Amino acid sequence: MTKQAFGSILSVFADTCMERAVKSLIVSTRLALVSSAILYAAFANSADAPPDPSKSEMWIKVKDSLFQGRMIDDSANGVIALETPVRAEDAATVPISIKAQIPQTPQRYVQTIYLIIDRNPSPIAAEFHLTPDSGRADIDTRVRIEEYSYVRAIAETNDGKLYMAMRYVKASGGCSAPAGKDQEAALARLGKMKFRLENEAQLNYPNLAQLMISHPNNSGLQMDQLTRLYVPARFVKKIDVTYNGKLILSADVDFSISENPSFRFYFTPREPGDLKAEVVDSNDLKFNSYIRVQPGVAGAGS
């Protein structure tokens, strides 16, 4: 065999070895990347998975304080349902919809709904007190959520029984999110309210109404982006809604409710009259609004 032929054989052998080595490296790299992706996904899913709702330390404290050992049916048992996003687009304005599964009648009705956000600085976001004249014990509003948390709606019926619906919501930073850019403008609109009826008013039937309140609802945890100082807490704390002098809805709320609070609720008018709201904020200022309700007329008032 000539030297030239021998050299050609060595060159081919070297090229083959190099090609195999490169292929082996590519395969190894791909396997390593796939393994890393699988491990990362497993870790992410584990870290993102909802914790055991019964072991929430704050919920245990709130439950003991509010309900003092009373039994709570956590299956909701056809009494209440809760709708929330799984992951909120904006932690400062998370939509919450509480739906009653029973009608409001004098014989049986939901008299109180507790809205609890376990990991908020103030976990008891609201207590809504209702009457048979509500017609339906449904409440829609928007809340702030500071950390990934269970949100719970506990309905207490007039026979004293408690039923709970809950959802785990992935949101963070809602209570400490920067306050609105123009605090002076917000204070100038402070307390302005507007009622709106969803449809034409009907007597002896649950009518859907919305109450909108202009209020910054500052949590005290928000930093002014210009002064770098914390904006003092100031928020709506009490709401009373009546129809012709009879209570429809009473709510004790705090800064867990979003800026410019909005509440959708039902009321059952028996005759034409005035739907009124009285609101008190944490500075003890009072604001009033009303709307005249006439059958067959869609209403919007202030």
Q: Is the pLDDT of residue 289 over 70?
A: yes
Q: Which positions ≥6 away from 11 have C-beta within 8 Å?
A: none
Per the CB < 8 A criterion, the answer to whether 214 and 274 are in contact is no
Q: Is the pLDDT of residue 281 over 90?
A: yes
At 67-116, the pLDDT tens digits run: 999 999 999 889 999 999 999 999 999 999 999 999 999 999 999 999 99
At 33-74, the pLDDT tens digits run: 334 443 333 434 445 689 999 899 999 999 999 999 999 999
Q: Classify residue 224 by its DSSP letter.
A: P
* Of residues 34 and 132, more confidently modeled: 132
Q: Rounded to whole angstroms, how far apart are CA atoms 67 and 86?
A: 27
Backbone angles phi, psi at 85, to 5 degrees: -70, 150
* Of residues 173 and 39, more confidently modeled: 173
Percent of the chain predicted with pLDDT > 90:
71
CATH topology of domain 53-301: Immunoglobulin-like (2.60.40)
Per the CB < 8 A criterion, the answer to whether 300 and 177 are in contact is no
Domain boundaries, the chain: 1-49, 53-301
Per the CB < 8 A criterion, the answer to whether 85 and 94 are in contact is yes
Confidence (pLDDT) at 1: 52
What are the angstrom distances between the C-alpha of 103 and each of 26, 47, 128, 202, 264?
66, 40, 16, 17, 17
Average pLDDT, the chain: 86
Q: Is the pLDDT of residue 6 over 60?
A: no
Q: Rounded to whole angstroms, how far apart are CA atoms 52 and 10?
A: 66
Mean pLDDT of 10-36: 46
Confidence (pLDDT) at 226: 75
